[in-house]
Structures are given as structure tokens and as C-alpha cells.
Amino acid sequence: MTQADQKEQFPGKTIVNSWNEWDPLKHVIVGIADGCMIPPSEPAMECKVPIDSDMKGQWGPRPQETVDKANIQLDNFADILRKRGIRVDRPTPMDFSQPIKTPDWENLSMFGCMPPRDVVATVGNEMLEATMSYRCRWFEYLCYRPLLEQYFKEDPNMRWEAAPKPRLTGRSYKDNYLSRIMTIEDRLKLTAAKDFVTTEVEPLFDAAELARMGKDVVVQHGFTANLAGIDWLRRHFPDLRVHAMNFPGDPYPIHIDCTFIPLRPGLILNNPIRKALPEHRKLFEINDWQIVEAAPPAHKNPPPLCYSSVWLSMNVLVLDPKTVCVEASEIHQMEQLDKLGFEVVPVPFRDANPFGGSLHCATTDVYREGGCEDYFPRQVEGF
């Protein structure tokens, strides 16, 4: 669909507003796979690539046929959303193969612009560019600037913000982190003890660490968000309640959206091997929210050259409190959501998974109807 066609289908004015993960979705950004790279090794990246991954030691442009196949599924996803009356915008890719540098470091390439969820957080009428935590993703916000500039012009109430760009020098990462790991059990011990690869010298967070539930926002503390980053968010949103959560059981904790997904008021989908801790569940329990364990993934392994785990199965995009998009081969997840009372929209997306995730990762909200509600009137001291 061209820009002109889209103007014809969606003549209304631009509104930036999204307070949660479930209210009726009206406008969204869907990523693009063009030019996406397997980035070169760098401190944070090294710790995320799974021990047995086919990506270990590789870097360079992704094979063009895989880019083409991913784009077919991304375009199809965008069309499914448009047919449901949702306006869809796309980022502007750059030449991601070019080396980048700041006064502090150089990196041999960038990453891509497939998962918009990682880069821009929409909270109410604000779109916030995250600090990011990998060097290869330092400039990725530039792919979203044409859209952010446009929304800023079109919606007089939009707040456009950028978190402080981090230095990402060697001081931002623990240099002995990997040397302490021999086995997956070692990893699990470290992550359970909240010993992650990033240090606390500066605020760091990827936008995909946020799960928004009106007045309450939970942020995963892990490889791609540190406590300083969560504290920054807390001070940046003084009217909201920002809660840090960590999930023992995840050897590579990055991005909350394969772990803890709010589906509608009162209902959370939680990864059964990354269970929320009792002290964190309390907030949900005392406010009569239910935390259900996600169905098992349909696949034993992620597709080739994919960073993410098989738990992309639960990386669903909620269109409204009764409708949810699920990857089309994830039969168990579809069945579970159907039983929970949702209309399930199957979306083929496995070819796009290696480019940075599934349906939630591949999108960023611009507009959902509804305002900032307080779903958790009872709070837990110290959380």
C-alpha cells in the first residue's frame, strides 16, 4: 500500500496515545527486514547468542532470500492489520552494513529495523526513544525519525522524547561475565542472582522491556535493562508506578515479551519456565489479576539464524480485549487463547522471526483507544 492509498483509507487525524497492551489498536508501526545484518561480536551481544546457536562466530548481511521471505510475511501482517481498520506505518531502513563510531568505540555494522518494539516505547501521548544497550543498535532510532517527525507535526499533543544516549564503553559491561559461564546451569545461577552482563554506570533499557498496564508499568531487569535504566524510567514518568521484575529460569533475559504478556485487564500470560517471583506476583493477586502459564511452543527449535527462543510462541499482539494475533504455526498457543475467550487471528511469521522476534516485537503502538486507568488500586510496599 502506498502512502497515498493509506491516506485514502485512513483520512482521520494522527493521534499518539497508548496506555496498555490491549485497548483497541488503531495505528501501529510494523518493522521491515531490508538490509538486516547479523551484527559483529560486541560485549552485550556475545552474552545473548545462545551457546548452541548457529549464529556463533558469524556476522554479515543476512542472505537476501531470507530477507525477501521475511518481508513477504511482514507485508502480509501489515495488510491483515489494515483490513481490520488499523493504520500501519513502516520505518525507513538505512545501510546497516556501514561501520559506525562514536568518540568512544567503533562497530563494524549496525543491526536492522525489524523489531520496532525494542526501540520506541509509546506511553500515553509520548513516544520515547530508548537508550538501547547494544552498540550495533545505537543509531537504530534514525529509522523511526521520519515517522516521529511526522507524528510530531500532525498531533499537537504528541510528546516526543529520547532517553539519554548511553556511552556504551567497556564500563557499561562486565568484562569477566562470559568467563564465569561454562554451562547453562552457570547462566541460570547468575541470572537468578540478578547478575547480568550490563553494569550500573549509566541508565540502559530497550523499549521491549516495558509491559504497560495503565498507571502501572513493569520493566524487566535483565541483559537489556539495568536498574539505573528502570530508575530513569521511574523518574521520567512520575505519575506512573514503574515496577522492576526479573525472571529466574531465563538464561538470556532480554525483552519481557516472551515472558510476561498482559492480555487484557485481569489477565497475564507468563512463560512457565520463567515464572514471576512470589514477591512480584503479589501485586497481581491482591488486585484479582490472574497469571496463567503460556501453552508450550509448537517448535522444538527456533528457525535458523534466530537469536530468540522458541517462546516467540507467546509473543502475541493483542488487537483489542477480545482479539489477538498469534503466529500461525503455534497451534497450542492459539488453542489456549481461544479457550480464554479470544478471537485468534493466525499470522504466518516464522520467516520473520530471525530478524528480531514475532508479532509483538515486530510492532510499536502509535494509537490505542482508551485512557490511563488504575488497574492496581492496591499496591505492594517496596515493589
Which one, 90 or 274, has the nearer CB to ligand DAV?
Answer: 274
Binding status of residue 255 toward ligand DAV by CB under 6 A: yes
Query: Which stretch, 6-14, 85-93, 280-288, 304-312, contacts ligand DAV (CB under 6 A)?
Result: 304-312
Which burial class, exposed, middle or buried, applies to 96 when counting CB atoms under 10 A from its CB (0-12, 13-18, 19+)? buried
For 169-269, where are the alpha helices, taking DSSP H only?
184-192, 227-236
Residue selected from 29, 361, 362, 366 as contacting ligand DAV according to rule CB under 6 A = 361
Query: Which stretch, 32-40, 122-130, 254-262, 285-293, contacts ligand DAV (CB under 6 A)?
Result: 254-262
Instruction: Please say if 361 is a catalytic residue.
Output: yes
The SS3 assignment for 150 reads helix
- Residues 347 and 330: their CA atoms lie apart, in Å, by 10
Shortest approach of ligand DAV to residue 216 CB, angstroms?
A: 21
255: left (phi over 0), alpha (psi -120 to 50) or beta: left
189: left (phi over 0), alpha (psi -120 to 50) or beta: alpha
Residue selected from 43, 91, 112, 115 as contacting ligand DAV according to rule CB under 6 A = 115
- Residues 94 and 35: their CA atoms lie apart, in Å, by 8
Q: In this structure, what DSSP letter does residue 225 have?
A: B
Query: Which stretch, 1-9, 164-172, 251-259, 335-343, contacts ligand DAV (CB under 6 A)?
Result: 251-259
Which one, 355 or 367, has the nearer CB to ligand DAV?
Answer: 355
Q: How far is CA 194 from the centre of its chain?
A: 20
Shortest approach of ligand DAV to residue 150 CB, angstroms?
A: 25
Which one, 27 or 360, has the nearer CB to ligand DAV?
Answer: 360
Given 27, 221, 243, 255, which residue is catalytic?
A: 255
Residue selected from 326, 357, 363, 364 as contacting ligand DAV according to rule CB under 6 A = 357
- Residues 351 and 207: their CA atoms lie apart, in Å, by 23
Residue whose C-alpha cell is 543498535: 137
Residue selected from 81, 208, 345, 359 as contacting ligand DAV according to rule CB under 6 A = 208
Task: Using CB under 6 A, count the residues that bind ligand DAV.
Answer: 11
Binding status of residue 308 toward ligand DAV by CB under 6 A: yes
Which one, 15 or 261, has the nearer CB to ligand DAV?
Answer: 261
Instruction: Please say if 255 is a catalytic residue.
Output: yes
Question: In this structure, what C-alpha cell is assigned to residue 103?
Answer: 568518540
Check: CB of residue 22 under 8 Å from CB of residue 265: yes
- Residues 125 and 338: their CA atoms lie apart, in Å, by 32
Residue selected from 19, 311, 367, 376 as contacting ligand DAV according to rule CB under 6 A = 311
Shortest approach of ligand DAV to residue 255 CB, angstroms?
A: 4
Residue whose C-alpha cell is 547479523: 38
Instruction: Please say if 338 is a catalytic residue.
Output: no
Binding status of residue 258 toward ligand DAV by CB under 6 A: yes
Query: Which stretch, 30-38, 94-102, 139-147, 307-315, contacts ligand DAV (CB under 6 A)?
Result: 307-315
Which one, 18 or 271, has the nearer CB to ligand DAV?
Answer: 271
- Residues 72 and 351: their CA atoms lie apart, in Å, by 9
- Residues 173 and 163: their CA atoms lie apart, in Å, by 19
Binding status of residue 309 toward ligand DAV by CB under 6 A: yes
* Full DSSP string of 253-274: ---GGGTEEEEETTEEEE-TTS
Binding status of residue 17 toward ligand DAV by CB under 6 A: no
Shortest approach of ligand DAV to residue 117 CB, angstroms?
A: 7
- Residues 168 and 204: their CA atoms lie apart, in Å, by 9
As annotated, the active-site residues are 206, 255, 361
The residues binding ligand DAV (CB under 6 A) are 115, 208, 254-255, 257-258, 308-309, 311, 357, 361
